Amino acid sequence: MKILHTSDWHVGKVLKGQSRLDDQIKALNGVVQAAKAERPDLVIVAGDLYDTATPTADATRVVVRALSALRETGADVVAIGGNHDNGPTLDALRVWAEAAGVALRGAVKTPADHLITGRTRDGEEWRLVALPFLSQRYAVRAGELFDLTAAEATQTYADHVARLITRLCEGFGADTVNLITTHLTVVGGTMGGGEREAHTIMGYAVPSTVFPASAHYVALGHLHRAQQVPGPAPVRYSGSPLAIDFGEEENASSVSIVEVTATTAAKVREVPITGPVPLYTVRGTLEHLSTLAESSKNIGDAWLRVYVAEAPRAGLREEVQELLPRALEVRIDPRMLPDADANRSRVQRSGRSPGELFADYLSQKGHVDEATVALFHRLHGEVSHS
């Protein structure tokens, strides 16, 4: 059978105040085009369909249309909730999803609800454990599906996840293609740069040994970089089909195409996704940035993060954005900032005016600018005499 594995769409994501809905539509169109070209038997969307638990109507429309378009390619479609999604809200769409032929699992319910079965066009049977993201709190609640001892109830997040997966995988067959999809951090995975840190580190990381060797393929979501993780079965993140923020600009956006049978190992290849506006980081002085702006072929229509190699001053951001209108983020190049250790001498405060103290503060931070000091004096005077 052939599987298309994708995840982390993050529809509705706003970058530095800029809507990227058009880019998200282009990325999902790329996913649909890949499905049309590859003709998979099954499409797995491994969580984070949305960027927020309260998606807008436009974001919901985009996700629903994308899932419908994937189903129209003839593939079975299974999608699960991620840590950015609201599980119960996704489950509220299940009436629509079932009518459309899409298996949607937003929150953890009974074990039987999370074992999905099907057959390929050629009659090959597959079984898929579809486990949505579990928070620490809900991992314990999910454990109530079992008869736990007091000691078992207080075990770690990884222990609860392992027990739950083991229970769900009891439905695997000896002569079926056995699959797992879930949304979590596996030890050994490399973060893509835009994940929500609280749900990717410390107590949320689980070893790949939570997955049984009886699984032919484990389709993961959560980390935005496409990668294979060593484990007892083939364990893989498909990555996001577009860069979520500037920390991911070097990631290669793709979907994973998996070919596997009940008796042969999974073979995986990446199909690149193109179309969305890229994200670039540029650095330089205003003179260099001016040259870059004139030679727009280097950056095209990309959204930009700019590190400007100039001393901080009032109006610098506006000057940069005048040169590069698509600069969403403007920062001072760290190399232009003074060494903090060189400015640890305590300033004598007694008997000095607020304006003098403020000027000293700016000097220590490398932000010597007469216009800023003058603005402080004016505002301080207005407040003092009001």
208 has pLDDT over 90 = yes
At 242-283, the pLDDT tens digits run: 999 999 998 999 999 999 999 999 999 999 999 899 999 999
pLDDT greater at residue 288 or residue 236: 236
Helices (H), 128-238: 136-142, 150-153, 157-168
Residue range(s) in the chain whose domain bears CATH number 3.60.21.10 = 2-272
Among 100-109, 187-196, 242-251, 335-344, the least confident range: 335-344
Residue 212's nearest CA partner among 229, 185, 233, 228 is: 233
Instruction: Please say whether the structural domain 2-272 has been given the CATH code 3.60.21.10.
Output: yes
Instruction: Look at residue 341 in the predicted model and tell me its pLDDT.
Output: 46
**Two tokens, residue 29:** 């169109």
User: Global pTM?
Assistant: 0.83
With cut-offs at 50, 70 and 90, classify the pLDDT of residue 95. very high
Q: How far apart are CA 237 and CA 246, in angstroms?
A: 20
* Top-confidence range, 70-84, 108-122, 143-157, 180-194: 70-84
Q: Above pLDDT 90, what percent of the chain?
A: 66
Mean of pLDDT over the chain: 87
Does pLDDT of 345 surpass 90? no
Confidence of residue 340 (pLDDT cuts 50, 70, 90): very low
**Nearest 5°: phi and psi at 18?**
-100, 120
> Which bin fits 376, alpha (ψ -120 to 50), beta or left (φ > 0)?
alpha
Has residue 197 got a pLDDT over 80?
Answer: no
Q: For residue 179, give the H/E element and its range.
A: strand 177-183
CB 10 within 8 A of CB 185: no
Who contacts 108 (Cβ-Cβ below 8 Å, separation ≥6)?
87, 114, 131, 132, 134, 138, 141, 142, 164
Q: Among 28-32, 146-150, 320-324, which stretch is predicted with the lowest mean pLDDT?
A: 146-150
* Contact by Cβ (8 Å): 366, 336: yes
Give the pLDDT band (50/70/90) at residue 344. very low
What's the pLDDT score for residue 296? 64
Average pLDDT over residues 208-231: 96
pLDDT reported for residue 150:
47
Query: What letters, b where the CB count within 10 A reaches 16 and e where it falls short, cover 129-139?
Result: bbbbbbeeeeb
Segment holding 128, helix H or strand E: strand 125-131
Please answer whether residues 368 and 311 qualify as being in contact, where contact means their C-beta atoms are separated by less than 8 angstroms.
Answer: yes
Mean pLDDT, range 363-379, rounded to an integer:
70
Ranges 46-50, 153-157, 200-204, 247-251, most confident: 46-50
What pLDDT band is residue 348 in, cutting at 50, 70 and 90? Answer: low
Reported confidence tier of residue 113, pLDDT bands at 50, 70, 90: very high
